[in-house]
Structure 1
C-alpha cells in the first residue's frame, strides 16, 4: 500500500504532500488543474513513467516485490521510492540506487496502470491465468504443478536430443577432422621435455668447433704435467696442488672429448626438422603437454561420435516417454478447464453487462504443448476483438476481467486509473464507479474522476485546483466533498439541486 506521496517543483506544483489509505482514492478538480501531473509523478517514483519534477517520492508499506529483493534491495517497514532529477534522473529505493529498467520490470505487475490499450490482459496467456485463478481447484493446481515439473524435464531432455541430432548431422565432417587432428599429433609423437633437450643439443653443436679448438689448447697444457711435477721435486716444493689441478683438468678434457664424440652422432638437419615439428604442435595447442591433453580429449570425443547413434536412440525413447506423460497431464488440465469455461465466461459477462457492455464469448483452442498445457484462450466482446474496442470500452472490459476471481486474489496490488469515467453516460459512469469500489477490496486504487458517481464512492477524495498558475491539492471531506461533487454536476455555477444530488450520492450504499 502507498502510505504517502511527495512531489516538488513539478510544473505548476511547488510542493504537494499527500497521505493515503487502503481503498479507493479519487482526484477531481477543474480541467487543467494538474490531476494527471500528480498521477504521472506517482508512476515516475516507481520507474513506470517520466516526470519534469525535481522530486517524486512514494512511501510503500509491506514487502517489496521479489525481483527487488533479488536485486539486493533491503526491505524496510516503510519502503521509500524516490525519483530525483538534477543533471540527470536518479531512482532510489531506501537510499539504494536502481536502474529504471530494473525498477519498472519489478513494479509493472505490482502497480497496474489502467490507461489506454497498453496492457495484455486479453492475451491468451493472461486469459488462461485468469481462468485457472477462477477455477481455483486442488486437482487443477496439482496437475499444473506436475505438468510444470514434467515439461521442464522434457525440455531438458529434448534439448539434449536436438544437440545430438545436430552433432549427428555434422558427425561425418567432425569425425574426419578429429581423425586428422589425432593422426597429426600421433605422427609427430611429442614427448614432454623433448624440445628443451633438443634445443640444448643444438646449442652444443653450434659451439662444437670453438669447443674443439679450446680442447686442443688445453690438451697442450696437459702434456706439461710431467715437467711441472719434476720442477716441484727439484725445488722441494709441495706438488699436491699441481697434481690435483692436472687431475681435474684431465677429467674435464676427457668429459668434453666424450661429449664432442657423442655430438658427432647427431644430424643437425634432423634436429632442426624435429624442432620445427614440435614448434608447430606448440603453436597450435600452446605446448607439448597441452597437445597430449588435446589428443586424449579428441580420442574421447571421437569415441562419443562413433557411439552417437546408440546414445540418440536411448534419448529418443526418454523424450517420447516424457512427452507422453506431459500430454496426459495437459489433456487432464484441458478437461478441467473446459468444464469451467462457461462459468468463467458467464462471470466476465455479468461484469461486462453491469458496465453496459455486450456479453463475451471465450474459445479454447489447442496450441503447442508448453508448461501450462495445450490450451490457448481467445475472447470476443459481443462480436468484437478486444483490440478493436474503443479506448473507453477497452478500459471497461479490463475492469470486468479484473473483477473475475477477485476473492481468490490474495496479493494486494495498486491500480492507477486515468480518465476512468471520461466521456461516458451517467449510467455507465455509475457502473464504472461501483466496479472500482468493488475492486478496491483487493486493490489500492487511485483514479481521476470527471463524474459525480466515482467521486461520491471514494474512501479518500482529493481536490486539485489551480490559482494564478499555481496548483494545489488537498483532501476534502463532508461538506467540501458535496460542494465539489455539485460543481462536477452543474459546473462553476453550483445550484441548490446539484448540492442536494451530491449529498444523496454520498449517502447511497454501494452494490455491484
Structure 2
C-alpha cells in the first residue's frame, strides 16, 4: 500500500502531506479544487504519470526485486519524483530511470481510468477461472504448473526442430560450402609461424649476393691470424681472447656460407608465391591462427550436418511424447474449467446485477495447445459488444471481474486508483459501485474521486480537497465527513434535511 504522500509546488498546490490507511480512500471537493491534479501527482511520484511538480514523493510497503533493479528494500520504500532543471526519479535516494520505476510500480498499482481491455483478455479470464479452481482444488495448481513446464520444453524442442528443418532445405548447399572453405584452406595448408619464416627467407634472398661478396672479402683476415698470434706471444700477452674471437668469426662465416648454399636451391618465385598465398589467407581471416580455427569450425559444422537426420528423428520422438502428455493435461485443465464455469458466471452476474448491468456470457472455446492448456475464454455482455460499452458500463464490468477475483485472492492485490467511477450514475448505481469497492478494499487499497454521497459515505478514509488562494487537503473527522456528504447532496447551502440524509448514509455504511 501507499502509506504517505508528499507534494510540493504543482499548479494550484503549494504543498500537501497525507498519510493513508488500508482500504477505501475517498477524495471529494468542489469542481476545480484540484482532485484530479492530486491523483495525477500520486501516479507521478511512482513513475506512472508526467507532471511538473517540484517534488512528488510516496512511501510504499511494496517489495522490490533487489537483484533485478539493484535497489535494497527498506521497511518503507521511498519513491520520489523531483523537478529542477530536469525531472529525476529516485527510490530510497538512489537515482532510477523512469522506465524502471514504472516497471516496479505497475506490478503493484493499477490506474483504472481508460478503456484498458487487459481484464477482458482470454489469458486474464483463464487466470481468474484457474484461481477459483485452485482455491477449491489445490491439485489444479500442480497440474497447471506441470503443464506450463512441459510446454516450455515442448516449445524449445519445436523451435529446435524448425531450425533443423530449415537447415535441411539448404543442407546440400551448406555441405558444399563447408567443404569448399575447408578445401581452400587445406590447399594452402598453412603452418603457424610460417609467414614470419617466409619473410626472413625473402629478406635473406634479397641480400644473398652482397653477403657472399662481403664474406669473400672478409676471409683475408684469416691469413693474418698466425702473425697476430706471434705478435701477441712476443708481447707476452694472453692470446686466448683473440683465438676465441677468430674461432667465433670462422664459425659465423661457415654457418652463413652453409645457409647461402641452402638458398641456392630455393626458388625465389616459389617463395614469393607462397608469401602471396599466406598474405591472401591473412587478408581473409586475419591471421594464420584464425584461418585454422575457421577451418576447424567448418569441420565441426560438416560433422553436425552428417548427424542432422539422427537428431531430427530423436526430436520428433520426444515431441510426440510431450504432445501426448500435454494433450492429456490440457484435457484435465479443460474439465476442471468447465466444472466451475457455470458457478463463476452466476457469481459474476450477481455482481453485475448489483451494479445495474445486464447479464454477461462466459464461454470456453477450444484453441491451439499453449502454455495454459487448449482453452480460450470469451466474455460478452448481453446485447452489447465490449467495444460499444459506455465508459461507465465498461468500468462497472471491470469492477465486477475484480470483485470476482477477490474471492480467490491470496494476500494483497496492491493499489487501485479510480477517477470518478461513479460519475453520471444514479444514487442506486452509485451505492452499488460503493458496495463493490468496499468488497474489493478487503484486498486492495483503493483511491477514488467521488461526486456522489453514496460512494463517499463508504470510504474508510476521507480527504477533502478545497481551494482558497491555493489548493489544500484536509483529512476529515466523522463529523466533518457528514457535513461534506451533506454538501455533496445539497450544494454549498447545506440544509438540515441534507445533514440528516448524510448522517443516515454514513451510519449505514458503518453498520
Mapping of 1:198-347 within 5 angstroms? 198-225=198-225, 240=239, 246-347=246-347
Aligned to 1:130: 128
CA contact (8 A) 1:29 1:464 kept: yes
For residues 507 and 246 of structure 1, the distance between their equivalents in structure 2, rounded to whole angstroms, comes to 123
Aligned to 1:17: 17
For residues 181 and 352 of structure 1, the distance between their equivalents in structure 2, rounded to whole angstroms, comes to 71
For residues 358 and 478 of structure 1, the distance between their equivalents in structure 2, rounded to whole angstroms, comes to 36
User: Deviations along 1:327-375, whole A, 9 cap, x unmatched?
Assistant: 2111211111111111111111100010000110011122222211111
User: Deviations along 1:206-231, whole A, 9 cap, x unmatched?
Assistant: 11111111122122333445666677
CA contact (8 A) 1:10 1:54 kept: yes
For residues 253 and 17 of structure 2, the distance between their equivalents in structure 1, rounded to whole angstroms, comes to 102
5+ unaligned residues in a row in structure 2: which ranges? none
For residues 88 and 179 of structure 2, the distance between their equivalents in structure 1, rounded to whole angstroms, comes to 59
Aligned to 1:450: 451
Distance 1:130 1:244, change over 3 A: closer
Distance 1:106 1:228, change over 3 A: closer
Aligned to 1:431: 432
User: Deviations along 1:271-325, whole A, 9 cap, x unmatched?
Assistant: 1111111222223223223322322221121121122112111112112211221
Match of 1:423, SS? Answer: coil
TM-score, normalising length from structure 2?
A: 0.94
For residues 232 and 89 of structure 2, the distance between their equivalents in structure 1, rounded to whole angstroms, comes to 99
Deviation at 1:50, TM superposition (A): 1.8
For residues 9 and 252 of structure 2, the distance between their equivalents in structure 1, rounded to whole angstroms, comes to 96
User: Deviations along 1:219-264, whole A, 9 cap, x unmatched?
Assistant: 233344566667778x687694666555444433333322222211
Deviation at 1:453, TM superposition (A): 0.6
Aligned to 2:146: 146
Aligned to 1:474: 474
Count of aligned pairs between the two proteins = 507
Aligned to 2:63: 64
Residue 102 of structure 1: which of 96, 100, 103 is its match? 100
Match of 2:119, SS? Answer: coil
For residues 237 and 477 of structure 2, the distance between their equivalents in structure 1, rounded to whole angstroms, comes to 127
For residues 236 and 138 of structure 1, the distance between their equivalents in structure 2, rounded to whole angstroms, comes to 113
For the pair 1:420 / 2:421, whether they are aligned, the reply is: yes
For the pair 1:2 / 2:35, whether they are aligned, the reply is: no
For residues 7 and 443 of structure 1, the distance between their equivalents in structure 2, rounded to whole angstroms, comes to 23
CA contact (8 A) 1:164 1:312 kept: yes
CA contact (8 A) 1:33 1:464 kept: yes
Residue 76 of structure 2: which of 75, 78, 88 is its match? 78
Aligned to 1:385: 385
Distance 1:236 1:2, change over 3 A: closer
For residues 439 and 314 of structure 2, the distance between their equivalents in structure 1, rounded to whole angstroms, comes to 57
Deviation at 1:493, TM superposition (A): 1.8
For residues 312 and 140 of structure 2, the distance between their equivalents in structure 1, rounded to whole angstroms, comes to 35
CA contact (8 A) 2:64 2:71 kept: no
Aligned to 2:186: 186
User: Deviations along 1:421-473, whole A, 9 cap, x unmatched?
Assistant: 110111101111111111111111111111111111111111111123x1111
Match of 1:192, SS? Answer: coil
Q: Which moved more, 1:289-298 or 1:104-113?
A: 289-298
Aligned to 1:372: 372
Match of 2:379, SS? Answer: strand
Match of 2:39, SS? Answer: helix
Match of 1:41, SS? Answer: helix
For residues 258 and 275 of structure 2, the distance between their equivalents in structure 1, rounded to whole angstroms, comes to 24
CA contact (8 A) 2:232 2:239 kept: no
CA contact (8 A) 1:34 1:465 kept: yes
Match of 2:118, SS? Answer: coil
| Runs of 4+ displaced beyond 4 Å | 224-233, 235-249
Distance 1:38 1:231, change over 3 A: closer
